[in-house]
Chain A
Amino acid sequence: MFETFDTLEQTWIGQTIRESLWLFPGIEAVHLLGLAILGGSVLVVDLRLLGAGLTRATVPAVLASARPWFLGSLALMFATGIPLFLSEAIKCYYNTSFWVKMGALAIGIVFTFGVRNRVAMRRDAPRWATALVGAISLMVWFTVAAAGRWIGFS
């Protein structure tokens, strides 16, 4: 495992970012812009599932409108997050927060596409089920973001 991370750290992308004064902060800033949109597109659906926010629109309608922004911001997060990771793969290897974030991210993606979006599209889903799914989604994505920020502090 360490060898894999070591190899990833030696890629030219990682090397270029490490040698530059601007690249890491610049990419990180775009990563944060993605966080704002990702947060908004997740929140607006989860709040609706919990019975708050855009209550005059149906859950499937809110999801349908938020979905492209969720997918787009998620793609942006990967496009910026992977280079950031490559620049400090070994630091990440030793960083508990990084592993928590990756675990939560995997859970978040599987849960969002596998459970949350399916429940949201069903009109016969009971109230408690949509609320539960919304709450879990909020917690998982919050964990991803919080653990991500904590990589720099641990």
Chain B
Amino acid sequence: MKRTLSTLAAAATLMLCAPASQAHHAFGAEFDPNRPVLLRGPVVKIEWTNPHAWFHVENTEEDGTKVVWMVEAGTPNTLLRRGIHRNSVPIGTQVVIDGYQSKDLSMRANGRNMTFANGQSLFMGSSGTGAPRDGADPTEPPRPQAEDTGGE
């Protein structure tokens, strides 16, 4: 119960406080490739800011609580080229987003795929951020798994 309360408090803090306009950073500096997350719920807020747009999604956690996650996307220009813009994702749109949670375990994630209710799926990140080659980015060829872990 205490954990739930603190989670709620953290989420509330995130919602109240200033936007996260973190400037350029590689995937590896901020997010954990070993913490994939699957978020499901309505979009409650979108910040169309450079250099990253942020999608706030109200996800229902395993224990049933509703927590707002902040999902980092590519630049607004990147999204525009893929057909996502201010009017194409109204507040309340139901989405499924898979991504990776931040290293500091806050309710932030790096978004990879965004899937809409009609089954349409879009890569929402930027290419070449150093995120795991999970096949979400259609422009990059997947790398053999052994090579991927060997270098670390």
Contacts and interface: CB of A to CB of B under 8 A. Distances in A.
Q: Check A-B contact in the complex, CB < 8 A.
A: yes
Interface string A45-81: 0000000000000000000000000000000000000
B29 A91 contact: no
Contacts of B139: 94
B23 A25 contact: yes
A153 B75 CA distance: 6
Contacts of A15: 28, 151
Interface in B42-89: 50-51, 75, 77-78
A38 interface: no
A interface majority secondary structure: helix
A89 B127 CA distance: 10
Contacts of A24: 24-26, 29
A23 to B, nearest CB: 8
Contact of A154 (B77, B129, B140, B141): B77
A15 B130 CA distance: 9
Interface residues of B, number: 22
A129 to B, nearest CB: 40
Nearest to A11: B151
A25 B24 CA distance: 8
Contacts of B130: 9, 18, 87-88
A18 B29 contact: yes
B46 to A, nearest CB: 18
Contacts of A18: 26-29, 130
Interface of B: 23-30, 50-51, 75, 77-78, 126-130, 139-141, 151
The 5 A-B pairs at the shortest CB distance, nearest first, are namely A90-B128, A91-B128, A18-B26, A18-B28, A94-B127
